[in-house]
């Protein structure tokens, strides 16, 4: 197979992104010395081999860590606004490469072209955010209880940040972390998903240009590739004070324990089981748009995808009928064709999990309302295209309690007041995103109150899916408790120090303690 067989302008996109040796060649990114095994990347869009990447060996990893550790010694000395300038230049390069990178994201991961572009736009947005932030890494000042003393706190660069990312946001999650980490003076070592290695190589190439043009050390941005075993090198490494890990709850549980075992910090962004509550006062049209986009967008492979609709019994039938009708209009197919709403799942293993969920929901007492199934034939050769399905279910079903990373939506009926719906919404182990559709102020405020949603994200009259970079992003309970992106999420990338300065000629002790010599 040669790269000339690649369609939809992918060949040109790869060339622009400096991934030239595709298919029969291999590519290792900035740290081009790998002696590891070969990882092949196949597109879920058409099943074709896109390229091969050499994975990192333990020896490569050591070289990367040496390069990162050295780079940190230099980078932390650069004033934060100058580091902001580096991130600004990175954002500019992303603007120039938006189309090519967006296409590669769509082709390697399988999300729609619009979403691929949207993911690169998120990278650009977080760069802009980080540039401004580079002049606002503020600490507080406090009044000392001792005369002639001054107290304040400051934030210092932390060190090497290890980033482990999932396949479903193959570029944006890395940028959320790196843009902030870089302005904070940290350097980054990235272990992307083994399912989307070429997107990672492309990002690394773009940043490598910025690093070279500014005559900075290469180790500011490092890439290591491979499966969980290379991720384990990061999590076990005492030289890495912070591991930011995005992925399944299963992975997060392991990573959290390993990192805590060596007193490192973890920033965990794990699975969700997101619900929309639909009350009798909901706008049905808005509800259907929010629910359908939330459930089928990215083929249900967003951490914020809508998995559960908790609908009041009085409007249950109406919402159900509207959803069934909307699902009838969905077009499933090549995500690079903008006419299609739903693209493929990432791989055959994901298809198996989808089939398994549909089987289990029936076994556990549910009823299928919109049939699922795997599509075959023309345009569906990869075997990864599935029909978005809807099932009537109970919140307590074991399958409903779990995140299935596929377009399966569960309809759950509630009766009585909104408190009953909130209890169901909170009645799962995950706590990422949640929403309520209502025009009733009391219901909306209750949902947002301390007795309301227990999730990291709680929305009124918009769905669960997606988020703006200006807010802190993350979730509670088994979602891991981490916060990335906007607001004051930057603080985790720095170490906080409290300073007390005595400008007198005596040494009074705090809390009035006397120690006379």
For residue 468, count CB atoms less than 10 angstroms from its CB and return exposed for 0-12, middle for 13-18, buried for 19 or more: exposed
**Cα torsion angle, 348, 350, 355, 356, sign:** positive
What is the CA angle 68-72-78, rounded to 5? 140
Cα–Cα dist 136/224, whole Å: 31
Q: Is 347 in the site for ligand NAD (CB under 6 A)?
A: no
Contact 320, 286 (CB under 8 A): no
Is 269 designated active site?
Answer: yes
Among 204, 246, 274, 459, binds ligand NAD (CB under 6 A): 246
- Of 251 and 291, which CB lies nearer to ligand NAD in the complex structure? 251
Q: Which residues 6+ apart lie within 8 Å of 347 measured at CB?
A: 42, 44, 195, 384
- Of 40 and 338, which CB lies nearer to ligand NAD in the complex structure? 40
| Among 228, 210, 222, CA closest to 181 | 222
Among 64, 198, 203, 255, binds ligand NAD (CB under 6 A): 255
Among 157, 168, 244, 306, binds ligand NAD (CB under 6 A): 168
Strands (E), 101-143: 141-143
Contact 265, 258 (CB under 8 A): no
Stretch of 167-175, 276-284, 320-328, 446-454 lying at the interface with ligand NAD (CB under 6 A): 167-175
Q: Is 455 in the site for ligand NAD (CB under 6 A)?
A: no
Among 99, 209, 232, 281, binds ligand NAD (CB under 6 A): 232
- Of 130 and 166, which CB lies nearer to ligand NAD in the complex structure? 166
Q: Is 384 in the site for ligand NAD (CB under 6 A)?
A: no
Distance in Å, CB of 16 to ligand NAD, minimum: 25
- How many residues interact with ligand NAD (rule CB under 6 A)? 30
DSSP 167: S
Distance in Å, CB of 382 to ligand NAD, minimum: 17
Strands (E), 22-159: 26-27, 38-42, 49-54, 141-143, 149-157
Distance in Å, CB of 252 to ligand NAD, minimum: 7
Return left, alpha or beta for 226; rule: phi > 0 is left, psi -120 to 50 is alpha, else beta. Answer: left
Among 108, 403, 443, 478, binds ligand NAD (CB under 6 A): 403
Contact 290, 258 (CB under 8 A): no
In a 3-state reduction of DSSP, which class is residue 494? strand
Q: Is 180 in the site for ligand NAD (CB under 6 A)?
A: no
Q: Is 87 in the site for ligand NAD (CB under 6 A)?
A: no
Stretch of 115-123, 201-209, 266-274, 286-294 lying at the interface with ligand NAD (CB under 6 A): 266-274
Q: Is 44 in the site for ligand NAD (CB under 6 A)?
A: no
Stretch of 45-53, 89-97, 200-208, 230-238 lying at the interface with ligand NAD (CB under 6 A): 230-238
Cα–Cα dist 180/355, whole Å: 39
Among 469, 479, 481, 494, binds ligand NAD (CB under 6 A): 479
- Of 94 and 234, which CB lies nearer to ligand NAD in the complex structure? 234
Among 49, 151, 254, 326, binds ligand NAD (CB under 6 A): 254
Q: Is 272 in the site for ligand NAD (CB under 6 A)?
A: yes
In this structure, are strands 457-460 and 408-414 parallel, antiparallel, or unpaired? unpaired
Per the DSSP assignment, residues forming a β-bridge with 342 are 332
Q: Which residues 6+ apart lie within 8 Å of 485 measured at CB?
A: 126, 129, 176, 180, 467, 469, 470, 471, 472, 473
Cα–Cα dist 57/162, whole Å: 17
**Catalytic residue of the set 119, 218, 269, 403:** 269
Cα-based distances in Å from 206 to 16, 66, 129, 145, 364: 10, 22, 19, 51, 49
Q: Is 164 in the site for ligand NAD (CB under 6 A)?
A: yes
- Of 108 and 443, which CB lies nearer to ligand NAD in the complex structure? 108
Binders of ligand NAD among residues 421 to 440 (CB under 6 A) are 432
Q: Is 354 in the site for ligand NAD (CB under 6 A)?
A: no
The residue ranges that bind ligand NAD (CB under 6 A) are: 164-169, 191, 193-194, 227-228, 231-232, 235, 246-248, 251, 254-255, 269-272, 303, 403, 405, 432, 475, 479
Give catalytic residue positions: 269
């Amino acid at each position: 197979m040669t790269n000339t067989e690649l369609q939809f302008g992918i060949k040109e996109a790869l060339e622009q992104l400096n991934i030239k040796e595709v298919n029969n060649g291999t590519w290792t990114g900035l740290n081009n010395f790998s002696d590891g095994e070969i990882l092949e990347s196949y597109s879920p869009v058409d099943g074709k081999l896109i390229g091969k990447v050499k994975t990192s060996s333990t020896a490569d990893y050591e070289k990367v860590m040496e390069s990162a550790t050295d780079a940190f010694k230099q980078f932390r000395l650069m004033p934060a606004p100058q580091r902001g300038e580096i991130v600004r230049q990175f954002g500019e390069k992303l603007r120039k490469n938006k189309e090519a990178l967006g296409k590669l994201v769509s082709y390697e991961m399988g999300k729609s072209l619009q979403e691929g572009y949207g993911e690169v736009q998120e990278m650009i947005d977080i760069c802009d955010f980080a540039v401004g932030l580079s002049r606002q890494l503020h600490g507080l000042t406090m009044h000392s209880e001792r005369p002639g003393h001054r107290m304040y706190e400051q934030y210092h660069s932390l060190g090497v940040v290890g980033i482990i990312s999932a396949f479903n946001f193959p570029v944006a999650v890395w940028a959320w972390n790196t843009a902030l980490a870089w302005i904070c003076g940290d350097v980054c070592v990235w272990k992307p998903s083994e399912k989307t290695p070429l997107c990672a190589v492309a990002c690394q190439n773009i940043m490598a240009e910025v690093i070279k043009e500014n005559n900075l050390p290469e180790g500011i941005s490092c890439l290591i590739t491979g499966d969980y075993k290379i991720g384990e090198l990061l999590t076990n490494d005492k030289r890495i004070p912070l591991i930011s890990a995005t992925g399944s709850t299963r992975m997060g549980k392991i990573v959290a324990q390993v990192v805590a075992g060596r007193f490192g910090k973890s920033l965990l962004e794990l699975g969700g089981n997101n619900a929309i509550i639909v009350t009798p006062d909901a706008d049905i049209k808005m509800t259907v748009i929010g629910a359908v986009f939330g459930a089928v967008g990215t083929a249900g492979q967003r951490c914020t995808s809508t998995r559960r609709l908790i609908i009041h019994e009085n409007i249950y039938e109406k919402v159900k009928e509207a959803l069934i009708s909307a699902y009838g209009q969905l077009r499933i197919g090549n995500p690079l064709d903008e006419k299609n709403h739903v693209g493929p799942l990432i791989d055959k293993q994901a298809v198996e999990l989808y089939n398994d969920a549909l089987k289990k929901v029936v076994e556990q007492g549910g009823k299928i309302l919109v049939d699922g199934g795997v599509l075959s034939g023309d345009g569906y050769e990869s075997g990864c295209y599935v029909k978005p399905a809807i099932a009537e279910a109970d919140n307590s079903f074991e399958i409903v309690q779990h995140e299935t990373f596929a377009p399966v939506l569960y309809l759950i009926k509630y009766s009585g007041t909104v408190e009953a719906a909130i209890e169901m919404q909170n009645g799962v182990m995950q706590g990422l995103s949640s929403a309520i559709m209502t025009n009733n102020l009391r219901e909306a405020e209750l949902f947002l109150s301390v007795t309301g949603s227990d999730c990291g994200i709680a929305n009124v009259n918009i769905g669960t899916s997606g988020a703006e970079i200006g807010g802190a992003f993350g979730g509670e309970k088994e979602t891991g408790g981490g916060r990335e992106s906007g607001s004051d999420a930057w603080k985790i990338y720095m170490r906080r120090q409290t300073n007390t300065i005595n400008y007198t000629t005596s040494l009074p002790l705090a809390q009035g303690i006397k120690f006379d010599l």
